[in-house]
Structure 1
Amino acid sequence: MTTTAPIAVVGESLVDLVWRSDAQAVHPYPGGSPTNVAIGLHRLGRPVTLVTCWGEDPPGTMIEEYLGSSGIDVLRAPSASGRSTVALAYVNQTSGSATYDFLTAWDPVRIPISKHTILLHTGSLAVVVQPGAAQVLEACRQLHDRPGRAVAVDLNVRPAVQPDRAAYRSAVEQLAGVADVVKASDEDLGWLWPDQHPADAARALLQYGPRLVVLTRGAQGATAFTADAEVSVAAPQIQVADTIGAGDAFQAALLAALLAPAPDGNQSVRIPTAPHELEQVLRQAVVAGALTATRAGAQPPDLDELRTATAAHTWLGQALAAGPRP
């Protein structure tokens, strides 16, 4: 089975068991980073197919029902083990930040990518948990080698599933070699390269081949790095409910901005390089992430919400465009 959506999101669907620091109960929520990105893109009006897998077990039943009601196009790859991934999310009620542990199963038998796909997104567990990670890398490589196509990756580092830092770094470096856009948080890069400032690590990732690296810094905003420019934007000041799904909403808004109408009436991928374009894309993405952080759980904004909130955010500071570097 294949689809005609121009965006394919490849990765895990799972059930988050959310444990809040001030609560006595654990609540299950279906999600997963790639799944959240796909739903975010759908809410922003972008045609997208989620390529994922889940097991024939109680968490899988919850995932299937959730995806069925989401409105997104789902391509379910067979699972070799028949198991679904479960994540335990510990939410600090004071800061809203979450830490995770996982019972993982990412073992799609195959990852079908349509000939109509022009933008492939992946990340999180899907790029590091074997045996599925090897298939994801190959799918990225094949699309990356086709003219007019692009690969985007959100590292979304999860040491709980791969505590070997050197092995994780190796996987990231291989992935960056077949990616056009790489997004990572300061926490991601701080864990992968603890001896470097996250901004320096982001610049270093450009050497592997991406045309754009985006560094998110939570409440401090985000920075885009290209071969010739660096642009930063501030994040809106908000009351945080929790940070679950905020980075995924950021990524969905970033990806949505990469699609543009082609002369033939279809969609094409355009990766911005000019500082003013990068500033516009980043501003939209930080607002999407901030809106999601004001809500409990992964609830990305729809297009009208994002447009309204982005317009209200334009007064917050100017982008810091470095221009060409010597």
Structure 2
Amino acid sequence: MVTVVGEALVDLIAGPDGRAFTAHPGGSPANVALGLVRLGLPARLGSRIGDDLFGRLVRDHLVADGVEVHALPARTGQTSVAFAAMDANGVATYDFRLEWDVTDLSALPVDNHLHTGSLATLLDPGAAVVEDAMRRARAAGATVSLDPNVRPSLAGEHGPALARVERQVAAADVVKVSDEDLAWLYPGGDPREVARRWAAAGPALVVVTLGPDGALAVSGDSEAARPGPAVTVVDTVGAGDAFTAGLLRWLHAAGRLGAMSRLDAAELAAALDFANTVAARTCARPGADPPRPDDLADVWDLLPHI
């Protein structure tokens, strides 16, 4: 079972008139946990979920698909909210009303893999608690994956935010990051060169998503870049999280979660093709609604059989 740590919240997505909003359960780590169980990989989520209307909505949504939900101790209790609006291409912009003030992760079980990222590794005071959990997981022999999912409006000053991300990257075995994240972290930088630097800092695998252009990956001396499949985009909510779930599902099938090793170019290409397709199928429907195996019958053979 994969343990996921991070925010669960409600996305209130604006309709075309900008006045009516539809509530969708979300939060990047929660979306990853949901994507994993839908792909047949058991997952537990440790998060800050309130005993309120939105908290019950989120919990019921996750539990209905089989996510094992653990409410983490926190200083405050309300469920967080993100307001989202779409541009003409279905790309979301966000306005957040949230807290990440978890105080303790020691009681949350971690079997062979821990995934985290997004606001859980960005916002104090909880981010320091999550970083400590990353270190403890690796010390206990588990592997760790990270998706920084940088939110510039919440990241604070650039220098300290960059230092934090680089410290967390060095503590991870697998890193997935978007080209938009890298454009903020390293203005004018080349995503492939950043991926190479990050891979040299410790992770066995660094993947950069490139929106409609697919993704690239670096693992040791091996590299690959793969285009994304054609898709009619409804919106991009949860697409990056679906990609992460697809990537972790592929790595699990390859026997890499819990025992991460470098991938060769052919393995990288297969992993990217599978994860790209998972993300594309999510973009074809509203909200963070990741696919199930029946939705991926044409690419299911990309999963390794060991």
Q: TM-score, normalised by structure 2?
A: 0.92
Cα deviation for residue 29 of structure 1 reads 1.2
Secondary structure in structure 2 of the residue aligned to 1:106: coil
**Matched length:** 301
Quote the Cα distance in structure 1 between the aligned partners of 2:89 and 2:113.
35
From 220, 225, 231, the equivalent of 1:227 is: 220
Cross-structure match for 2:92: 98
The answer to whether the aligner puts 1:304 opposite 2:288 as a matched pair is no
Quote the Cα distance in structure 1 between the aligned partners of 2:128 and 2:86.
31
Quote the Cα distance in structure 1 between the aligned partners of 2:285 and 2:254.
32
Unaligned runs of 5+ in 2: none
Secondary structure in structure 2 of the residue aligned to 1:273: coil
Q: Residue 112 of structure 2 contacts residue 143 of structure 2 at CA under 8 Å; is this kept in 1?
A: yes
Structure 1 residues 116, 29: CA separation in 2 closer, same or farther (over 3 Å shift)?
closer
Tell me the amino acid that sits aligned with residue 77 of structure 1: L
Quote the Cα distance in structure 2 between the aligned partners of 1:204 and 1:272.
15
Cross-structure match for 1:292: 282
Cross-structure match for 1:255: 248
Structure 1 residues 113, 248: CA separation in 2 closer, same or farther (over 3 Å shift)?
farther
Quote the Cα distance in structure 2 between the aligned partners of 1:66 and 1:173.
33
From 194, 203, 206, the equivalent of 1:213 is: 206
Greater displacement, 133-142 / 50-59:
50-59
Cα deviation for residue 201 of structure 1 reads 1.9
Cα deviation for residue 163 of structure 1 reads 3.3
Cross-structure match for 2:22: 27
Q: Residue 3 of structure 2 contacts residue 110 of structure 2 at CA under 8 Å; is this kept in 1?
A: no
Cross-structure match for 2:138: 144
Structure 1 residues 115, 101: CA separation in 2 closer, same or farther (over 3 Å shift)?
closer
Tell me the amino acid that sits aligned with residue 105 of structure 1: E
The answer to whether the aligner puts 1:43 opposite 2:38 as a matched pair is yes
Structure 1 residues 292, 272: CA separation in 2 closer, same or farther (over 3 Å shift)?
farther
Structure 1 residues 224, 191: CA separation in 2 closer, same or farther (over 3 Å shift)?
same
Quote the Cα distance in structure 1 between the aligned partners of 2:201 and 2:260.
20
Quote the Cα distance in structure 2 between the aligned partners of 1:174 and 1:113.
24
Tell me the amino acid that sits aligned with residue 284 of structure 2: T
CA RMSD of aligned residues (A): 2.0
Structure 1 residues 142, 125: CA separation in 2 closer, same or farther (over 3 Å shift)?
same
Identity %, equivalent residues: 41
Secondary structure in structure 2 of the residue aligned to 1:122: strand
Cross-structure match for 1:83: 78
Tell me the amino acid that sits aligned with residue 11 of structure 1: G
Q: Residue 46 of structure 2 contacts residue 108 of structure 2 at CA under 8 Å; is this kept in 1?
A: no
Secondary structure in structure 1 of the residue aligned to 2:146: strand
Secondary structure in structure 1 of the residue aligned to 2:153: coil
Cross-structure match for 1:13: 8
Quote the Cα distance in structure 2 between the aligned partners of 1:188 and 1:217.
10
Secondary structure in structure 2 of the residue aligned to 1:135: helix
Tell me the amino acid that sits aligned with residue 97 of structure 2: L
Q: Residue 249 of structure 1 contacts residue 300 of structure 1 at CA under 8 Å; is this kept in 2?
A: yes
